Structure formats: structure tokens, C-alpha cells
A and B are shown apart, each in its own frame.
Chain A
Amino acid sequence: MLSLSNVNAGYGTFQALFDCTLEVNAGEAVAVIGPNGAGKTTLMRVISGLIPARGGRMDMEGRDLVATPPHRIVDLGIAHVPENRRLFPRMSVEDNLRMGAFVPSARAAFSRRLEFVYDLFPRMKERRHQLAGTLSGGEQQMCAIGRALMSEPKLLLLDEPSAGLAPVIVQRIFELVRVIREQGLTVLIVEQNVQQVLRVVDRAYVLEAGSIRMSGAAEELAASDEIRRLYMGL
């Protein structure tokens, strides 16, 4: 479904990604794990078009992403849940969700999608008139995921959904990932919480200093001594 080959990217003179190659097949959940500053967020931002790729090829279901602006990428079925949620804090929960359905193709389906998200997250329905900035951390993450689901994506990009959340909430967020998969969505997730994320994905890539170092099935990586030592503190 999504394929990247030899993608480079950076900010100004600083290069953050070096020849990244990865593949996400339809229906899969794939994780990108790695330490702080490895380029995980940059990778997500390149895929959703927020920063340009400098060379390399990148396409979604055979359609080129490199020369596509971000609002068109949403149209191709990719929705990005940014790091730290990045809701519109002074807008209500429902208005945040409305913005998720901004692209013309999604606007027509707004009420149907809203119902879908409210079914998935009943808590969001209870809070629909509340300002998004006043939600708790876990609720904000739900709202951010809900906003992304409003555009009826095929591929969901989740950037560190567990960051800054209490351990018990983190559990629930990973549970959500499972629920989303059951809806038939493909998920690409970036995480530092390696132990937990490897339980909910099929495969994972290890990103270090801007390069893909390793990849493999989730159980395989979870069992690897190197991963256990470096990322799980075991």
C-alpha cells in the first residue's frame, strides 16, 4: 500500500533521514521504533507531505507522494495523527472532528463519519461541546485519532500516541490501535514504548540516526537480544 525507497529528508542544512526504505502492506500494522532524535517524526512528516522529501521515491497505492501537497495526500487516504496530539485547543471536540473531514471528498460524508467516530469513542460524544484544550491527555489522544479517522483514511499514521500519558492510559491507547485495525485500517505507528507497541503490530522497523537498521516480524524483534537490551532495558 505505502512504499518508500531511498527517501532522504531534513531541515535546512541538517539531514534527518538517510535512504529510508520501507513498505506497509494493506491491512498490516507496522511500527517504526528507535531512540529520541532518530528521525521517526520526520519520517511521518515526510509521508504526509508536511516536509518535502529530498530524493527517493514514495508512493501510496501506486500514486506518487513526493510531488503531492499535504491536502492532496489526505485525499489519497493517508491521515496523520501528529506527535503531541496537536488539537485545535480553542475549538470544541466536534469542531476538531469537523476539521478532520475538511477535504471535499470527506465533507459529504461528515455526519456518517461523525457517527462512526462517536461509536468508536463514546467519550468523545459526551464531550462534543467541550473545548479540546480542556480534555485530559488520553481524551485528547482519542480526539486526535478521531479527527484523523474523519477523512475516512486507508492508512493511519500515528506519531507517538503514548507520549506524555499515564501508564494506565497508555494501555488503553494501544487497545485503541487494535480496535482501529479491526475496522480494516492499515496502521503505521511510531513509538518509543517498544515493548508495548510490539504487542499490537505485525512488523517493525528500527530507525537509528536517520537510517533503517533492522526490520522484522514483531515477535522476532521482541525476542531479539539486541532490541531487548537497547530498547526495553532488559
Chain B
Amino acid sequence: MNSVTLPVAFAALLVVAAIVGIPSYPLHIMIVILIWAFTYTGWSLMGRFGLVSLGHGAFMGLGAYATALLWNYAGMTPWLGIPIALALAALLAVIVGYPCFKFRITGHYFALVTLALTEVVRQTVIATRDHTGGSLGFTPTPRGNDDTPSIVALQFQDKETWFLIAVAVWLVGLLIWRAVDRSMVRHALDAVSEDEDSAAAAGINVTWEKLKITVLSAVMTAFGGAMYVQYQLFVAPDTVSGIGISLQIVFAVVAGGVFTQFGPTFGAIITLLLAELLRIYIGTDAVGLDNAIYGVALVLFIVFLPKGILGSIEDAVRRRLDRQVRSSATSGA
């Protein structure tokens, strides 16, 4: 499944729903799901080629904290702060990615490097608590009712505005996914994930192709982080960075389906609803239960449903259609 019409149709449907009116709480859940879905889509761009990053929390945290810190301490509008945050994320991706790809650190070893990365970012946030608020979290200064227009601060009181922004961001994410899916980069990286040596011998610049997709993925994830902090107006190391978030990203995409356009979105719906249900029914009695569930579910999915829920459904539908086509062809003949 890969199209423009379907995402646009869904986006239009969501916008219509918002105009008709959605109660505040479901609207909030949907905004969060859409922002996470964008981030997950960013991760899946790497994940589908076997570049399993357990460190995307690092990019998400970087996007969120850089944007918020620039606003609070430099008075810089997120319109400038976010591009700077994205550039920093791209730089971090190159610093970590280039040596890994150049020296052929792949598979488990690449995952371990990225796992360390996410922890480095989390610890950096905690260590610089004088500026970042440490593990207590950080709040971007509200623009108040003074002269700063809300468009400059990128802070909006009403959820409807945020909902429209989230829908647009999510839609762009799906379109990026599609563009990558139809590009030569996708063929090249498919080849690289099957046999790096052969790919290099065929004339593919392995390091460069991997680096391109890693930077794109990191920048998207950082943008997701920036959107998150602008919407929630609060950010803490454990909500955007660290191993918990990085694992949640992996779980969500694997559960939804790493090879399909809507897979990460589906994964976002599952994880967010799961987190909300746990919060409502179990509350704070079992902190970390969601991570435990992610861990167990991740193992089960990889073993029994490696294409994810949506990917498996698509496969089943395609097989059925094939059968119908074939049986109608034989009955016709």
C-alpha cells in the first residue's frame, strides 16, 4: 500500500471531523497520536532497511530541548529555533552515523551504538539541570498576554489549531515515506541490506546512501520532538528521550508494520491507547508497566508477526485478491 490519495483522504476526513467538532479529550489523544505517528514514520524509514536504531529518543529529545531552550534563553521564535534544532539533529546523525557506516558497524552492533546515544542525550539533559531542569522537566515560557503573537511563539490556546497542524505534519510524513519508497535510494538500501559487498561492487556508495536516510530519519524525529514540546509545553528526559522512548518507537513501528505507509500510524494508535488505558486503569501503581508490555510484545511480534499488524493484514488481502483474480481468470477461460 503506497499512495497519495489515501493519506490525503484521511487527512481531509480528520479536518472535517475537527470542524464538525470533537470533544477536547479525544482531540488531545488524536493530536498526540498524529505527532507520534510522524516520529514513528521517521524511524521506519531506517528500520525498514535493517538500520535498527534504538536511539531515536536522542533525536527526539534534541529536537524538543533545543527548540525550547532557544525560546527560553535566547528568546528565539520556534520558527528559527526548530530549523536550528533540526540542523543539530542532522549533525548528530552524521557524527554517529558516518563512522558506523564507514567502518561497517551493522546489525546488533549498530543498534548498540544508537542505544548508547539515546542514554548520552538523556544523561546530558539531567547533568545540565541548571538550564534544562534535569529530570524534573522543562517548560517553555508561556507567551502570556503580552505583545508576542501566538503565531511567533508557536503556542496556541485552542486544540483545534494544534489538531490542524498535527494533521498537516502527519500528512507530510506519509508523503515523505512515499517519496522514499519510490526513489532509487530505496532500491539501493534494499540491496545494501541484502548484501553490502555486492551493493558496493554494483556501484552503490553504501556509506552515503545509509547516511542520507539516517539524516532524514533523524531530522524527522527531531521535528516530532519539537512539535511535541510546542504542543505539550512541557518536556522531561523520560518523555522524549532515553531508552524507554526509544524502545517504544521500535515497538510501535514493528507492531504497526515497518514496510507499509500506514504501519507507523497504526503503531502510534496502539501504543498511545495502551499508554492511556494503563494510565487510567492502573495509574501510578505500576510505573514502567507499559515498557514491560512493549518489551514482551516486541518479542512476540518479531517472532510471530514480523510484518506487523497492518502489514500482515495487507498481505492477507493481497493474497485473497490474487486468488480471486486467478479463479476468475480460470472460470473465464
Identify 13 residue pairs between A and B in the complex whose beta-carbon atoms are under 8 Å apart, listed by A's number. A49-B200, A70-B201, A70-B203, A70-B205, A74-B201, A82-B201, A86-B195, A87-B195, A99-B191, A102-B187, A102-B202, A148-B202, A151-B203
Contact check, B201 vs A102: say whether CB atoms are below 8 A apart: no
Q: How would residues 175 to 192 of chain B score, 1 for a CB under 8 Å from any chain A CB and 0 otherwise? A: 000000000100110110
**What is the bound-complex CA distance between A48 and B203, given in angstroms?**
10
Other CB < 8 Å A-B pairs besides A69-B205, A86-B197, A100-B202, 4 of them?
A: A50-B200, A102-B187, A102-B191, A102-B203
B199 at interface (Cβ–Cβ under 8 A)? yes
B112 at interface (Cβ–Cβ under 8 A)? no
Q: Which residues of B contact A87 (CB under 8 A)?
A: 195, 198
B70 at interface (Cβ–Cβ under 8 A)? no
Contact check, A86 vs B198: say whether CB atoms are below 8 A apart: yes
Contact check, B194 vs A107: say whether CB atoms are below 8 A apart: no
**What is the bound-complex CA distance between A224 and B81, given in angstroms?**
76
B126 at interface (Cβ–Cβ under 8 A)? no
* Interface residues on chain A, number (Cβ under 8 Å): 27
Q: Output the least CB separation between A88 and chain B (Å).
A: 4
Q: Which residues of B contact A113 (CB under 8 A)?
A: none
B204 at interface (Cβ–Cβ under 8 A)? yes
DSSP class of B's interface residues: helix, strand, loop or mixed? helix
Contact check, B201 vs A88: say whether CB atoms are below 8 A apart: no
Q: Output the least CB separation between B163 and chain A (Å).
A: 40
Q: How would residues 200 to 235 of chain B score, 1 for a CB under 8 Å from any chain A CB and 0 otherwise? A: 111111000000000000000000000000000000
**What is the bound-complex CA distance between A106 and B202, given in angstroms?**
11
Q: How would residues 48 to 71 of chain A score, 1 for a CB under 8 Å from any chain B CB and 0 otherwise? A: 111000000000000000000111
Q: Which of A25-33, A89-97, A121-129, A171-179 contacts B (4 or more CB under 8 A)?
A: A89-97
**What is the bound-complex CA distance between A98 and B195, given in angstroms?**
15
Q: Which residues of B contact A40 (CB under 8 A)?
A: none
Contact check, A91 vs B197: say whether CB atoms are below 8 A apart: no
Contact check, B197 vs A50: say whether CB atoms are below 8 A apart: yes
Q: Which residues of B contact A88 (CB under 8 A)?
A: 190-191, 194-195, 198-199
Contact check, B188 vs A99: say whether CB atoms are below 8 A apart: yes
**What is the bound-complex CA distance between A87 and B190, given in angstroms?**
12
Interface residues of B (CB under 8 A from A): 184, 187-188, 190-191, 194-195, 197-205
Q: Which residues of A contact B197 (CB under 8 A)?
A: 50, 82, 86
Known: A98-B187, A99-B187, A102-B184. A90 touches B194 (CB 8 A): yes
CB-nearest residue of chain B to A83: B197
Contact check, B188 vs A71: say whether CB atoms are below 8 A apart: no
Name the one of A49, A99, A106, A151 contacting B199, with C-beta atoms under 8 angstroms. Answer: A99
Q: Which residues of B contact A99 (CB under 8 A)?
A: 187-188, 191, 199, 202, 204
A203 at interface (Cβ–Cβ under 8 A)? no
CB-nearest residue of chain B to A98: B187
Q: How would residues 140 to 152 of chain A score, 1 for a CB under 8 Å from any chain B CB and 0 otherwise? A: 0000000110010
Q: Which residues of A contact B203 (CB under 8 A)?
A: 70-71, 74-75, 100, 102-103, 106, 151
Contact check, B201 vs A48: say whether CB atoms are below 8 A apart: yes
**What is the bound-complex CA distance between A71 and B200, given in angstroms?**
7
**What is the bound-complex CA distance between A80 and B199, given in angstroms?**
11
**What is the bound-complex CA distance between A147 and B203, given in angstroms?**
11
**What is the bound-complex CA distance between A47 and B43, given in angstroms?**
37
CB-nearest residue of chain B to A153: B203
Q: Which residues of B contact A98 (CB under 8 A)?
A: 187
**What is the bound-complex CA distance between A151 and B201, given in angstroms?**
11
Known: A86-B195, A107-B184. A91 touches B202 (CB 8 A): no
Known: A86-B195, A89-B194. A80 touches B188 (CB 8 A): no
Q: Which residues of B contact A89 (CB under 8 A)?
A: 194
Q: Which residues of A contact B199 (CB under 8 A)?
A: 88, 99
**What is the bound-complex CA distance between A49 and B206, given in angstroms?**
13
Q: Which residues of A contact B194 (CB under 8 A)?
A: 88-91
Q: Output the least CB separation between B106 and chain A (Å).
A: 16
**What is the bound-complex CA distance between A106 and B198, given in angstroms?**
17
What 8 pairs between A and B have smallest CB-CB spacing? A74-B203, A103-B203, A86-B198, A88-B194, A71-B205, A80-B201, A70-B200, A71-B203
Contact check, A91 vs B198: say whether CB atoms are below 8 A apart: no
**What is the bound-complex CA distance between A75 and B188, given in angstroms?**
16
CB-nearest residue of chain A to B200: A70
CB-nearest residue of chain B to A105: B203
**What is the bound-complex CA distance between A100 and B200, given in angstroms?**
10
CB-nearest residue of chain B to A107: B184
Q: Which residues of B contact A50 (CB under 8 A)?
A: 197, 200-201
Q: Which residues of B contact A95 (CB under 8 A)?
A: 187, 190
Q: Which residues of A contact B200 (CB under 8 A)?
A: 49-50, 70-71
Q: Which of A131-175 contact B (CB under 8 A)?
A: 147-148, 151
Q: Output the least CB separation between A89 and chain B (Å).
A: 6
